[in-house]
Amino acid sequence: MATVMRMPEVLANTGEAIIQTWLVSVGQEISIGDPIAEIETEKAVVEYAAEVDGVLARLIAEPGATIAVGEPIALVAEPGETVDDIGMGARDPESGARVIEKVADGAVAAPPQRSVPTNGHRLFATPLVRKIAREKGIDLLSVTGSGPGGRIVRRDLDRLSANETATAPAPAVKAERPEQAADFVDIPLTGMRKAIARRLTESKTTVPHFYVTADCRVDALLELRRTVNEAGTTKVSVNDFVLKAVAGALMEVPEANAIWNGDSMRRFGTADIAVAVAVEGGLLTPVLRGVDRLPISAIAAKVADLASRAREGKIKQQELEGGSFSVSNLGMYGVTEFSAILNPPHSGILAVGGAVQKPVVVEGALAVGTVMTVMLSADHRVIDGAVAAQWMAAFVRRIENPLTILI
């Protein structure tokens, strides 16, 4: 008996996702663990691996379609089973129970447990259709389903909305218009923008932030960077040195290398650091693993790879998870100082400004030096003021004595 493959819960608190690309075709043999589709979530594209062995018999979800978690996306036939045999039914891969789902016209009828009793009538509709109907105020009793067995599918709601728009009377035109009408456009929210809004609002309103600021002399670091780039094949940036200095400070002050865990604090033995990357329509924070153990050239290469794939939409979900600390650098935009919002569950984020020439005092005399201002945002549930100050001192010491970063 065939197996129904359903949209997985690829990201916590996500009720729906999009099939971006199918990596397999109908008739192809698949094995457990084989990547079969790329699924787009709010923040990343995730490869979905097959959960059963067999032959792909039918693709239900079309690329670009938004599918609710738990909804059918494909059918996998057992060895020797034909597509014609599948009409008899299929089984759920998790429970093993038989699911009576007649295959017709490239779709799968909703199972009985997904029906909605309403005033003595039993409606068949997916969770996504019911969600859209609630949001648009549509009474599903007034909708005629075009899916198998009278199932109400999304195109029925779209067609209903289009008909209502076409038959709706034209709004009355006001005789008077304001002298200066506002010029604006409402831009629909993307999944990424919704995720950023939700997570950072939660962070700012539920996590007790406090801030520590320091100025770093970077003349020696800039000279060392110039020497390293002249001698090596991999070009390194100031931010690569910053990441290595952050990792060293976390190793020196391990109390800062921790996250809030509800009823405990989780302290890490390595420095996994998230790097803020601006992408079209938002921001991603891929995590660089084991920065404390990486040479500066490897950090430069890995950061470049993560940033490139983030901007191309090819970052993996697991590359956005983990770590205890983040770095956000706006120096390349001419920003000299800013504060950053913590990226949950991280307990620290370092906001890095651009290096600028300023008056400095050297052995009692006024001079000109290149100064970089950094601001640490810390979670006070995990990091106390004294710990933050110790961490900042360890970071500044490495930046101002950059040879220690390379040792």
Within a 10 A sphere around the Cβ of 338, how many other Cβ atoms?
14
Tokens of 79: 């060895």
Amino acid sitting at position 265: M
Question: Which helix (DSSP H) or strand (DSSP E) does residue 374 occupy?
Answer: strand 365-379
Query: Residue 334: which region, alpha, beta or left (left: phi > 0; alpha: psi -120 to 50)?
Result: left
Cβ neighbours of residue 337 closer than 8 Å, sequence gap 6 or more = 213, 351, 353, 373, 375
Answer yes or no: are the C-beta atoms of 99 and 113 closer than 8 Å: no
The per-residue DSSP string of 43-68 comes to S-EEEEEPSS-EEEEEE-SPTT-EEE
Amino acid 57 reads: A
Rounded distance between C-alpha atoms, residue 250 and residue 229, angstroms: 26
Render 300-361 in DSSP notation, one character per residue.
Answer: HHHHHHHHHHHHTT---GGGGS--SEEEEE-GGGT---------TT-SEEEEEEEEEEEEEE
Please calculate the CA angle 37-43-49 and round it to the nearest 5 degrees.
25
Q: Which residues are catalytic?
A: 380
Tokens coding 327: 């770095």
